[in-house]
């Protein structure tokens, strides 16, 4: 399974079940936020007014079903001199870890069962993945939340399962406040080593990037209460609570559409609607297959 970072035209329609509605679409089309007990999503099809995706109410996150896997995607909604645009990437997925039932055409289903279990099945009935929440409630429901977390609740509003996924993008004007975290869980199912990439704006003012528990990079700033902001001029800056800049990528005026990807620790830009993203700044993080 590979994740792809995709530049999208804001006026484009849904290209597939893997792509979330862009900013232009958001004004005219919405997907459900909730999957209720007894309902399901179908890859490439529709059932009971539900297609192959759920969407957070702010249109920033979506749970999208493909023929043989399910993923959560985050959309960066961008504005620039060419008008509105967007960029999307996966932040969590589940599929068949054995690889025996991979398909590009199957009408697989993701069902919120009435026994409380969320199950991904092929059209022939093979279980690809399940949440393991059977017998937790007959009326459980699944919500794609605005924080990027996919959460299953009982009818009493008790959370019994969650994807644990969070935003990894900062678009112009967005901040990472003290004690806030970005967390990329895309690789937490892949291979023998499960890796989670975590970027935290610590309360001591240090911005720290970890692979699992291993520190891979840090800003080495130590002013308590500092916060990170992706500015509208394209510069990623850390300010103290007194609004004093103590760290920056120095990427101001870097182009038309600029955003920060916390998973890749990079500031990206693309200058027109058909260009591929260009790295304007990237943290020097040593690679290790095991973190």
* Inter-residue contact 231 to 224 (CB < 8 Å): no
Q: Give backbone dihedrals phi and psi of 271, rounded to 5 degrees, phi first.
A: -95, -10
Q: What is the pLDDT of residue 59?
A: 92
Kindly report the average pLDDT of the chain as a whole number. Answer: 84
d(CA 289, CA 291): 6
Supply 61's token pair.
């996150």
Q: Per the confidence metrics, is the pTM higher than 0.85?
A: no
pLDDT digits (tens, 9 = 90+) for 224-269: 999 999 999 999 999 999 999 999 999 998 778 899 999 889 999 9
3-state secondary structure of 83: strand
Q: Are strands 207-211 and 214-218 parallel, antiparallel or unpaired?
A: antiparallel
Distance in angstroms (rounded) separating the CA atoms of residues 74 and 61: 5
List pLDDT tens digits, range 83-136. Answer: 888 888 999 999 888 888 888 888 899 999 999 999 999 999 999 999 999 999
Give pLDDT tens digits for 162-177: 999 999 999 999 999 9
Q: Which domains does the chain have, with CATH numbers?
A: 1-165 (2.90.10.10), 166-291 (2.90.10.10)
Residue pair 23/84 in contact (Cβ under 8 Å)? The answer is: yes
């Amino acid at each position: 399974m590979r994740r792809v970072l995709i530049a999208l035209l804001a006026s484009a329609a849904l290209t597939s079940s893997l792509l979330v509605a862009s900013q232009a679409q958001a004004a005219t089309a919405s997907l459900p936020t909730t999957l209720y007990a007894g309902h399901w999503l179908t890859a490439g099809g529709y059932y009971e007014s539900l297609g192959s995706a759920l969407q957070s109410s702010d249109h920033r996150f979506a749970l999208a079903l493909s023929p043989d896997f399910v993923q959560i995607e985050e959309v960066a909604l961008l504005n620039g001199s060419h008008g509105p645009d967007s960029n999307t990437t996966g932040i969590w997925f589940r599929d068949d870890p054995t690889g025996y039932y991979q398909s590009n055409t199957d009408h697989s289903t993701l069902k919120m069962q009435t026994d409380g279990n969320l199950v991904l099945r092929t059209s022939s009935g093979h279980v690809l993945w399940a949440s393991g929440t059977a017998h937790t409630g007959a009326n459980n429901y699944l919500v794609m939340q605005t924080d990027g977390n996919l959460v299953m609740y009982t009818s009493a509003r008790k959370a019994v399962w969650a994807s644990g996924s969070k935003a990894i993008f900062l678009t112009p004007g967005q901040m990472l406040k003290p004690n806030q975290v970005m967390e990329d869980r895309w690789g937490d199912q892949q291979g023998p080593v499960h890796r989670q990439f975590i970027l935290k704006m610590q309360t001591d003012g240090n911005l720290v990037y970890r692979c699992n528990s291993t520190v891979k990079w840090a800003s080495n700033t130590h002013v308590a209460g500092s916060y990170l902001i992706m500015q509208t001029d394209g510069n990623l800056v850390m300010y103290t609570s007194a609004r004093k800049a103590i760290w920056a990528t120095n990427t101001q005026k870097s182009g038309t559409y600029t955003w920060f990807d916390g998973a890749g620790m990079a500031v990206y830009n693309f200058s027109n609607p058909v260009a591929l993203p260009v790295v304007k700044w990237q943290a020097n993080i040593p690679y290790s297959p095991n973190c």
